[in-house]
Every structure is written in structure tokens, then in C-alpha cells.
Amino acid sequence: MTDDSTPVLFSRQGEIAIVTLNRPEQRNAMDASTTKALRAVFDEIEGDTNLRVTILAANGPVFCAGMDLKAFLSGEADEILFGPGRFGGFVSRQRSKPVIACVQGAALAGGFELVLACDLVVSAETAVFGLPEARLGLVAGAGGAFRVGQRLPPAIANEIVLLGGRFDARQALAWGLVNRVTAGDPMPLAMEMASVVAANAPLSIAAGLELTAAGSGAAQAALWAANDHHLRRLIASEDAREGAEAFAQKRSPKWSGR
């Protein structure tokens, strides 16, 4: 899985699909082409009756740094954030097969939101997580803000969203955002977990996914509507452009509140 020209790699091991983000030089940041490729891969997986479970992994030292800010500044935000499935073509898509996030490095901003959209999570103990969007003039608009709000006590969710700092894998495990933490490469643990899922009854798995999703968020449509409202307003703001430019130029942003 080393094809440098392909932003998303896809392979099969029996009934297990392995999807790998493959832009390590760009910290696996999401641009429009990667979004379209990831969406197409998950369309294929959903339609393949021989596949039971997916592992979402990444090449390089970073799992995913979120949206590619160069792509944002060049006008690709609408495709990345609001296309079918929203961020990565993944975070809001309906699925009948579980996805296991295999996090080997930093999962930040939209990268952490990809993880939050998965059904199970295994992580290297060296991985870090965070939603730094407030530091960039944006909001965690790929489901991250409301998903941490659903899963964590308000004070902890607010710390993650409003302070924009990072936390490590052990803290994520303590908060219940990660299922397993391991030393070294998390892929063997992800494969072990995927093998257990694949051995279970597929109709039972699909029903279980639907019921746990319904139980955790009966108001999903309303949450996504509020999410999109705030995200569209913010990405059109002067502060969002200032945040992206300041980040690219490695300087402190000068907020205008507009």
C-alpha cells in the first residue's frame, strides 16, 4: 500500500476492507480529490456483499490533520464539507457495516471527526487527538462538536471545543472515545477486532449499528442542520480566511469578529 499517486488506498483481506489515507506529505489532510476518492471507496464497500467490516487507517506519522487549508483557500471547501456524506464523504453517511478507526498518529480537527464518525477505535498510545478549529476561526463542523457533546460531560466537551487543545490516547480511552490503546502499530489489534466482527452475523451487525445510532442521537437531522448553518456562516467569514492564512504563514491571527 505505497502508491504515492493515489490519495486513498483500498484492499481486501477476506471479509475485511482496509481503507488507507495516503497523503502523508500533506499530513493526510482532506482536499476535494481525497474526499471524492474516500466517498467512492465507501460506496464500493457498502455495495459489496462479501465485505463485512472496514478498517480506516492512514500512511505516515499523522492519521489526518483535517481539511487541507490550501484547498480551503482555493475554493474547495464546499465539496469537502458539504458534499454527500459531508467531510471525507464519510462523517454523515448511512452505513450497514461497521468501521474501525486505526489511529497511528495525530488525529486533529476533521481527522478527529473522522475517528468520531467510526464505530470502534483502536489507537497507538503515541496518538493525539483534538479539535483546534476555534484557533483557526472555524468550528468543528464535521460532526465533532455535537458528537463530543453527546458522549462527554459538558465541561469536558467544552474544554475540547472551546480551548482547542490536544489530548493523548490514554485520556481518550479514559473518556470513552477510544476502545483500545496499544504500544506500537495498532493495525494488528484493529485486524483482531475486525476478525471478530466479520465472524458475527451480518444482519445482526447491521441491526445493531442502526439501533445504537438511533439510541445515541434521535435528533441527528436537526443537529446536522444546526452544524451546517454555523459552518457555512463561519467559512464565509473574514476570520476563517485570516485563521487559515495565519496558520500557513506561521503567525498569530488577528481576529476581527467578522
Q: How far is CA 138 from CA 26, 35, 135, 237, 240, in A?
A: 20, 19, 7, 9, 6
Query: In the chain, where are the structural domains located?
Result: 1-185+207-258
Q: What is the dihedral of CA 115, 79, 8, 10, to 10 degrees?
A: 80
CB of 29 closer than 8 Å to CB of 64: yes
Residue type, 186: P
The confidence score (pLDDT) of residue 210 equals: 87
133 among known catalytic residues = yes
Judged on CB neighbours under 10 Å (0-12, 13-18, 19+), 59 is buried
The confidence score (pLDDT) of residue 72 equals: 86
Residue ranges for the chain with pLDDT beneath 70: 1-4, 214-218
242 among known catalytic residues = no
- How is domain 1-185+207-258 classified at the architecture level of CATH? Alpha-Beta Complex (3.90)
**Could you say which of 25, 44, 113, 242 is catalytic?**
113
Q: DSSP 3-state assignment of 136? A: helix
Residue type, 148: V
CB of 23 closer than 8 Å to CB of 7: yes
Going by C-alpha positions, the residue among 99, 86, 96 that lies closest to residue 144 is: 86
Interior angle at CA 168, CA 152 and CA 28, nearest 5: 100
The confidence score (pLDDT) of residue 73 equals: 84
**DSSP-assigned letters across all residues of 145-157:** HHHHHHHS-HHHH
Q: DSSP 3-state assignment of 181? A: strand
**Could you say which of 125, 133, 238, 242 is catalytic?**
133
DSSP run (H or E) holding 182: strand 180-182
What region does 143 belong to: left with phi over 0, alpha with psi -120 to 50, or beta? left
**DSSP-assigned letters across all residues of 66-91:** SB-HHHHHTT-HHHHHHSTTSGGGTT
For the segment 20-70, what is each residue's pLDDT rounded down to a tens digit? Answer: 999 999 999 999 999 999 999 999 999 999 999 999 999 999 999 999 988
The confidence score (pLDDT) of residue 1 equals: 44
Judged on CB neighbours under 10 Å (0-12, 13-18, 19+), 229 is exposed
pTM of the predicted model, to two decimals? 0.94
The confidence score (pLDDT) of residue 219 equals: 74
Give CA–CA dist 38/91, Å, rounded: 11
Give CA–CA dist 231/221, Å, rounded: 15
Going by C-alpha positions, the residue among 24, 37, 118, 32 that lies closest to residue 65 is: 24
The confidence score (pLDDT) of residue 41 equals: 98
Interior angle at CA 216, CA 213 and CA 220, nearest 5: 75
